[in-house]
Amino acid sequence: MPTVVKGVISRTKNAPTELVDIVIPEPGANDVVVKVSTCGVCHTDLAYATGGINDEYPFLLGHEAAGIVESVGESVTHVEVGDYVILNWRAVCGECRACKRGRPWYCFDTFNASKPMTLTDGTELSPALGIGAFAEKTLVHEGQCTKVDESADPAVACLLGCGVMAGLGAAVNTGNVGRGDSVAVIGCGGVGDAAIAGAKLAGATTIIAVDRDASKLEWATDLGATHTIDASAIDDVAAAVKELTGGFGADVVIDAVGRPETYQTAFYSRDLAGTVVLVGVPTPEMRLEMPLVDFFSHGGALKSSWYGDCLPERDFPMLIDLFLQGRLPLDKFVTERIGINDVDAAFKAMEEGRVLRSVVTL
């Protein structure tokens, strides 16, 4: 039977969000109904609400979630009713060219639920990143559910579903940070600080946090930065990074902002043949102009990180285990726990840089 639950939607561009009744259909053959426990508030939700993604309103917002499997479609084998899961927005297909080449984190045919969730008048909802979890329940594909150790606090676990995974993975997966490396991270919000935590986890010995906001540099230090650079106080960040790395530049520089000027800083802050990882998301109108010869003469690797190049089935349980063992302080990313009515206030706090993550608890 279809179920009616409460969910937070964005009905039209730039309008405040609304808490309304939504209809969860019976799960299709490979679909799963998840009772949502928690859902982090991500910049991408705000981007949906403000028209930055597409105009397929109304959106059911929320995509960084943990919960309990409540019911499953007839062909589901991947999870069972009662499983504690983190949701992901890239359920890999196993069949596309990327998957068959053994690089499933680039899968371009990822799965979502087979049926739409709707408003009570039948209007189809577009779930944010194919999830839609600022809701008491949501409908996803079984591959979007990854079972993890149920002793992990869901307010912490859910953060692996998007931003924290993107940052951790930018360092550990895309940047391939290793023991003894020097790492610089530009932009110390949730994603950048997760990259710092990832660099620390991977054994980097010099971890330089760069931001224009003193409170963000404090968060960064708390999460493992060994040095900080206040970019509002100096002209040449790249020179400052070099000074902290024996005159060479960092082995891996992660741009968690995604603007032409931060990318340029990242590029010139790295050591010869070092790696730049772009994980901050630029907007379409941004342009970068740099001497082509510099790309040649500096060598190395320029990479972009999608969702931290993660594989949920590989990475979520492992990172949760590291958290439970006290080796990865994921709990420090939870700045506040809020109710389902507080999403707009959380958007504001996020825009003002007052929070690493606000987490809706249901």
Give contact residues for Zn ion (rule: CB under 5 A).
42, 44, 92-93, 96, 99, 107, 109, 162
Asked whether the beta carbons of 203 and 179 are under 8 A apart, the reply is yes
Q: How far is the CB of 274 from Zn ion (least distance, A)?
A: 28
Burial label, 324 (beta-carbon count in 10 A; 0-12, 13-18, 19+): middle
Q: Which residue shows structure tokens 């900080």?
A: 228
Q: Of 99 and 346, which CB lies nearer to Zn ion in the complex structure?
A: 99
Beta carbons within 8 Å of 348's beta carbon, 6+ residues apart: none
CA distances from 311 to 44, 65, 87, 106, 316 (A): 20, 16, 12, 10, 8
What's the one-letter identity of residue 14? N
Q: How far apart, in whole angstroms, are the C-alpha atoms of residue 283 and residue 104?
A: 26
Q: Which is nearer to Zn ion, 71 or 126 (CB)?
A: 126
Least Å distance, CB 271 to Zn ion, is 31
Which whole-number Å values give the CA distances from 10 to 29, 257, 268, 304, in the listed order? 29, 25, 41, 30
Residue 95 to residues 38, 105, 131, 289, Cα–Cα distance (Å): 32, 13, 22, 38
Taking the complex as a whole, how short is the minimal distance between the CB of residue 339 and Zn ion, in angstroms? Answer: 20
CB closer to Zn ion out of 160 and 223: 160
How many whole angstroms from its chain centre is CA 331?
Answer: 15
Least Cβ distance, residue 104 to Zn ion (angstroms): 6
Q: Would you say 97 or 354 has its CB closer to Zn ion?
A: 97
Contact of 273 with 299, CB cutoff 8 Å: yes
Least distance (Å) from Zn ion to the CB of residue 315? 15
Residue 9 corresponds to which tokens in the numbers above? Answer: 């939607």
Q: Which of 247, 248, 278 is nearest to 263 (CA)?
A: 278
To the nearest whole angstrom, how small is the minimum distance from the Cβ of residue 199 to Zn ion? 21
- Cβ 248 to Zn ion shortest distance, Å: 34
